[in-house]
Amino acid sequence: MKLDKPVTGGPCWTELGTSDLEGAKRFYAELFGWRAETDPRQEAGGYSVAHLGDVAVAALSPLYQESQPVAWNVSFAVRDADESAGKVTAAGGTVLLGPMDVFDVGRFTVAIDPTGAVFQMWQARSFPGAGLFNAPGSLGWVELLTRAPERAVNFYTTVFGWSVNASEHYTQWGVDGADFGGMMAMDDTFPHEVPPHWLPYFAVADVDGAAATATAAGGSVLMEPRSLGDVRRIGVLRDPQGAMFGVYAEA
């Protein structure tokens, strides 16, 4: 990711909705070295912020609705949550929740794009988002997996104004040309029951080592570590509760 801090239109935060909060805390502490602090306020519902040292890098939370899947979610920074929600609707998406105030830290929206992928938007007040990107244990890339890539391009460029760097094999998203993520078309190799989704990738020092650590901690490997030329090595893992996420290391 060419971004090193939250900027408008770019990914600013990622959070896990899990069926076993304490189990998730243990798993990600072992895998990434995270220290999770749970908000003690009853109205926070067990929301826990994961830290590397003193820096907030992600969040872990219980499932708040019966229909909510165990999954990682990606938030994109916006200047005005209400205005952005209007753009989502006008571009063919659907607002699922909000916009709503989260204490005094920001304004939050959950939406679904026209291809079926859920994403979040965050209007910062006192909390801008992750304090670290691209370092081991922190967010370094986000990827949209969808069965309708052309429709996704039209939607996200309309809502966020992203730049698009497309090649024959892969499309990259950017803010003013600074790439932060990409898009992969879901083909017949993806089970039909797997919906379009945003997948966060966390930086690690050693992808193969991370895969081994995840497996030993009760997770599994969905995509075996592989090298992308001489640029980076990647893998896709699943935690013990079923949430998917990627890991990568620069070559």
pLDDT at 80: 98
Computed from CA positions of residues 163, 142, 116, 195, in that sequence, does the dihedral angle turn out positive or negative? Answer: positive
The band of 11, judged by pLDDT with boundaries at 50, 70 and 90, is: very high
- Please state the domain extents for the chain: 11-124, 139-250
Residue pair 216/209 in contact by the 8 Å Cβ criterion: no
pLDDT at 75: 98
pLDDT at 40: 87
End-to-end CA distance of the chain: 14
- Residue 179 clears pLDDT 90, i.e. is over it: yes
State CA 66 to chain mean position distance.
Answer: 21
Which of 115, 200, 193 has the alpha carbon at shortest distance from 149? 115
Q: What mean pLDDT, rounded, does the chain reach? A: 95
Angle between helices 21-32 and 207-216 (to 10 degrees): 150
How do residues 189-228 score in pLDDT, each as one tens digit? 888 888 999 999 999 999 999 999 999 999 999 999 999 8
Pick the CATH number of 11-124 from 3.40.50.300, 3.30.420.40, 3.10.180.10, 3.40.50.720: 3.10.180.10
* Three-class SS of the chain: CCCCCCCCCCEEEEEEEECCHHHHHHHHHHHHCCEEEECCCHHHCCCEEEEECCEEEEEEEECCCCCCCCEEEEEEECCCHHHHHHHHHHCCCEEEEEEEEECCCEEEEEEECCCCCEEEEEEECCCCCCCCCCCCCCEEEEEEEECCHHHHHHHHHHHHCCEEEECCCCEEEEECCEEEEEEEECCCCCCCCCCCEEEEEEECCCHHHHHHHHHHCCCEEEEEEEEECCCEEEEEEECCCCCEEEEEEEC
How do residues 228-251 score in pLDDT, each as one tens digit? 888 899 999 999 999 999 999 997
pLDDT at 42: 85
* Single pTM value for the model: 0.95
Report which residue type is found at 7.
Answer: V
For the beta carbon of residue 60, count every other beta carbon within 10 angstroms.
24
Same fold, 11-124 and 139-250: yes
pLDDT at 64: 85
Pick the CATH number of 139-250 from 2.70.70.10, 3.10.180.10, 3.40.720.10, 3.40.50.720: 3.10.180.10
Report which residue type is found at 145.
Answer: L
